[in-house]
Structure 1
């Protein structure tokens, strides 16, 4: 399963447009005040919780795919029964599924969900998730990667905790291209005309392209966005960009139709297993570090149980087990030492992989982009979609 299969691209104006339309039809304001977000917590007497995640985003037993070792260990240790569902296939689709309940101050039937941080930003702005009690989460407090602690939408990470993280950078075939790529601007070289793809999704694509223009993506402006679009339009009209893709860029790159592309770090680890000539680069101008994060929706009935499960996954031993299976950027740096001490050669090697545990040089180039606000989204999505052809 690839990162791109989970990180969906924005279709039209997406769920932001839905909210705008509802507001125009006289539906009560969607924002929920902090005093109205909590329900009576049944965790003390009701040892269960419901956890909604993306497909193939947790470790499974090689002999029995119905078993999830890290989750099973939590259940055995705590006596809490976890109903684990793989129901999230698209951020906007999931938003549409649970937003009516949240908007109308009703339970969603889920105690814990994992969504991309750009969608987490929307939930936080709407007041649709509960603040976590860090006194119940000592592992999170101690082991959460400092670089992930202060996203623009949740400065103290009190409403969200990264499940896994990743990097949007550039993948290319070293052997076929015959040279290195070190900068975003290298994508625009003459010998790559018609052999470059970019990601279709606004939220997935814009940050790296801005970084190529020298923009600090932590505090980009509308002018920065439109300047980037102006330049991109010229490259598209000049047929330099072959096409805009979802996760199908993997096939293009592996097959040789494309020599370089915007890509996700997790995908490249999988590609390199079949073709060691595939390289992933964090450009010298920088790359976007993103996360898909755990959140507790409003009126969840098992909040304390959910907080305990989140903290379980921040135990370095547990985080190492999960990282070894999913191969994304691990949000628990201490898991690296656990893997490095393994007698299993492959696990020990994973500790040295900068796409799972970024080294200091790579970390200096990584930044979390300021999210697109609700006021900006309709305008920016319309411009972006006109370029991409959506």
Structure 2
């Protein structure tokens, strides 16, 4: 895996922010009614689909980087050819790229896209993606992780089905620090002054920081947000926080410039392979479980084919193969038994990695956070960006 983050790292206000602001100011958003979202489905006569994803977010053949074994197996099984493009590098950038067509009720030429759930919520609220036919998706129905089934923006996951999942927690160098970290408040200890980084993206950062203050992030309030930002602003002024980062926190942690940081579980799996002293912690107060999800845009011409591909990746055998390569939290817990039965020792060991398959104790502390609404976003982004310096 690359150290390229699946979560976007620096976001300007951009078109996404303008749409949120317009909605908050009473300007009618570019909402598409449910009856107007579907095109004539060409799946039966046109056995293909166009799938847009992030770079380095799928299994690749060790001998031929152009081959993607799970996609090739899907084509062999179904006869559906997949045009796979790695064109999504940032949630807001991609939103800006395709939103003019979507708001004008035009086909974007893609049948399946993957975005972070905080952004997926925008598409769903705007009516820019279609609901999937769950009767065609028995694997999703049976195997989707219960923790991920009912986000506030898409109850039942009819519009946004997790591709991969992850945890925003704390990474630290246990040997260099000389003690354990168990709580978010441990980051504010004197021996870590100037040696802590937080994530720069508001959507990525806010939940863990609220949880450190005892907030239930499934139903947080504006008061909770402002209380959290007041604390962060104070910690910036006191120089407890070294800086805010994108995915480059991995370099700071590896070099020793930073001893503890807000981090993504998938990145830490990679860091630990190079430095076993790096630990990842789900604090006692809890941590955010997030997902990046598959969605079918409005007017997609191969909806049934896209639904078939989504369901294919929820076959535990296929999910296990993907998880073994990307090393993020697998949204299919049943894939754990598949990996555990592998004759390859390294592959079988992945079944016991809590950063891919969180154990029962860790799962009790994981929460899917309520997303930020369009009405809240302009005010909250302004407050956050003033603190972070964006």
TM range, normalised to the smaller chain? Answer: over 0.9
Please tell me whether residue 82 in structure 1 is matched to residue 54 in structure 2: no
Report what 2:315 is aligned to. 315
Q: 1:28 to 1:328 in 2, by over 3 A?
A: same
Query: What does the per-residue CA deviation read over 1:217-236, in whole Å, with 9 as the maximum and x for residues that have no partner?
Result: 00000000000011111110
Whether the 8 Å contact between 1:12 and 1:381 is mirrored in structure 2 is no
Query: Which residue in 2 is equivalent to 1:273?
Result: 273
Distance 2:87 2:134 in 1: 27
Is the 1:12–1:385 Cα contact (8 Å) retained in structure 2? no
Residue number in structure 2 paired with 1:146 = 146
Contact 1:193 1:240 in 2 (8 A): yes
**Structure 1 unaligned blocks of 5 or more:** none
Residues 377 and 28 of structure 1, relative CA distance in 2, 3 Å threshold: closer
Q: Identify if the C-alpha distance between structure 1 residues 275 and 302 changes in structure 2 by more than 3 Å, giving closer, same or farther.
A: same
| Conserved 8 A contact 1:3-1:264 | no
RMSD: 1.6
Q: Which residue in 1 is equivalent to 2:260?
A: 260
Partners of 1:9 and 1:154 lie apart in 2 by 24
2:101 equivalent to 1:70: no
Residue number in structure 2 paired with 1:31:
31
Deviation at 1:356, TM superposition (A): 0.2
Cα distance, 1:375 vs structure 2: 0.5
| Aligned mates of 2:21, 2:97 — CA distance in 1 | 16
Deviation of 1:19 (Å): 1.9
The 1:236–1:29 alpha-carbon spacing in structure 2 relative to 1, beyond 3 Å, is: closer
Q: TM-score, normalised on structure 2?
A: 0.97
Per-residue CA deviations over 1:268-292 (Å, capped at 9, x if unaligned) read: 0100001000000000000000000
CA distance change for structure 1 residues 40 and 157 in 2, over 3 Å: closer, same or farther?
A: same
Q: Name the counterpart of 2:376.
A: 376
Question: Which residue of the partner structure matches residue 191 of structure 1?
Answer: 191
Q: What does residue 326 of structure 2 align with?
A: 326
Moved more, 21-30 or 313-322: 21-30
| Equivalent runs, 1:345-384 vs 2, <5 Å | 345-384=345-384
Per-residue Cα deviation, 1:267-319 (whole angstroms, up to 9, x for no partner): 10100001000000000000000000000000000000000000000000000
Is 1:291 the equivalent of 2:287? no
Task: Point out 4+ residue stretches in structure 1 off by more than 4 angstroms.
Answer: 1-4, 20-28
Q: Distance in 1 between matches of 2:343 and 2:168?
A: 32
The aligned length equals: 390
Structure 1 residue 152, shift from structure 2 partner: 1.0
C-alpha displacement of 1:26 = 12
Does the 8 A contact of 2:21 with 2:378 survive in 1? no
Residues 29 and 198 of structure 1: is their aligned pair in 2 closer, same or farther, counting only changes over 3 Å? closer
Tell me by how many angstroms 1:28 deviates.
7.0
Contact 2:154–2:160 at 8 Å: present in 1 too?
A: yes
Shift of 1:29: 3.8
